[in-house]
Amino acid sequence: MGDRIRKILMGVFSLIAVLCGAYLIWYYIWMPRENMGTAEEYEEYKIESNEETPEAAEPVEIPIDFASLQAQNPEVCAWIRIEDTHIDYPIVQSRTDEEFYLEHSWEGNYSPAGAIFIQTYNAADFTDYNTVIYGHRMGNGNETMFHDVHNYMDMDYLKSHQNITVYTRDHIRSYKVFAAVVYDDRLIPVSFDFSAESGRQAFLDSLYASEDVRNQFAEGVEVTPEDRIITLSTCLESEPHHRFLLGAVLVDEK
């Protein structure tokens, strides 16, 4: 009788283990992918550029359909693109909950993959000295969101993927990557007084002061407290108190 009960219990526990494993696979791998949408779905918000546009002083031609994006979610404020990477997404900014888009897609639907977002510490039009852009690292072969930011730990990759473009409704801003560093988990926008030159310099100094072997610094890219920069921030696997940052300086604005 005892052996029979043990066999029954073992069968029950095995079934529970299989079901739990299946749920975890769905939750951490398939559900994020289902909520991310396909590349084709993002393509519908991109507008074909007209290369024959004359050089006269005309409004900047923005290749992103912000009207359609904001019709779905008024909190869409920009679009970020890094050529030859998977980073090509709308940027959102919640007006009520700084952490909302950690677990919601840009449309506002629940998703463990979250969205690419900025917080209200920054202006939505990217006119601040340092706009911090957040995105999940992802994993398990999922190359969405800010997964590709980790590739900048390799200098050759940094050199060949140094240009970042941010689109807003009225402007196209081009940035050049100058640093890829392991950093602590402090909330950057409130940790430095970016309204003062000394605070801006202190942040730059803190990037270069990081001594992690995974850090990379671009050669020949000058950055000063008078420049405007963006900082891409994502998490590090098994390092909950660290972030991986990608710093890029504004080099052109239209």
pLDDT digits (tens, 9 = 90+) for 62-98: 999 999 999 999 999 999 999 999 999 999 999 999 9
CA 51 to each of CA 54, 60, 164: distance values in angstroms, whole numbers, following the listed order: 9, 12, 20
What is the dotted CATH code of the domain comprising 60-253? Answer: 2.40.260.10
Cα–Cα distance, 133 to 63 (Å, whole number): 21
**Cβ atoms within 10 Å, residue 177:** 23
Confidence of residue 140 (pLDDT cuts 50, 70, 90): confident
User: 32-45: b or e for each residue (b if 16 or more CB lie within 10 Å)?
Assistant: bbebbbeeeeeeeb
How much is the pTM?
0.82
pLDDT reading at 26 higher than 70: no
In this prediction, residue 48 carries a pLDDT of 59
User: 231-251: b or e for each residue (b if 16 or more CB lie within 10 Å)?
Assistant: bbbbbbeeeeeebbbbbbbbe
How does DSSP classify residue 127? -
Q: Mean pLDDT in the chain?
A: 87
Conformation bin of residue 181: beta by default, left when phi > 0, alpha when psi is -120 to 50:
beta
User: 111-134: b or e for each residue (b if 16 or more CB lie within 10 Å)?
Assistant: bbbbbbbbbeebebebebbbbbbb
Cα-based torsion angle of the residue sequence 235, 239, 241, 246 in order, rounded to the nearest 10 degrees: -40
Confidence of residue 28 (pLDDT cuts 50, 70, 90): very low
pLDDT reading at 18 higher than 60: no
Query: In terms of pLDDT, which residue wins out, 141 or 124?
Result: 124
In this prediction, residue 141 carries a pLDDT of 80
Which pLDDT tens digit goes with each residue over 195-241? 999 999 999 999 999 999 999 999 999 999 999 999 999 999 999 99
Pairing mode, strands 116-117 and 88-92:
parallel
pLDDT reading at 54 higher than 80: no
Nearest CA-CA partner of 42 in 61, 68, 60, 62: 68
Nearest CA-CA partner of 75 in 35, 120, 113: 120
Type of residue numbered 149: V
pLDDT reading at 249 higher than 50: yes
- 171, two tokens: 């402007």
Q: How many residues does the chain have?
A: 254
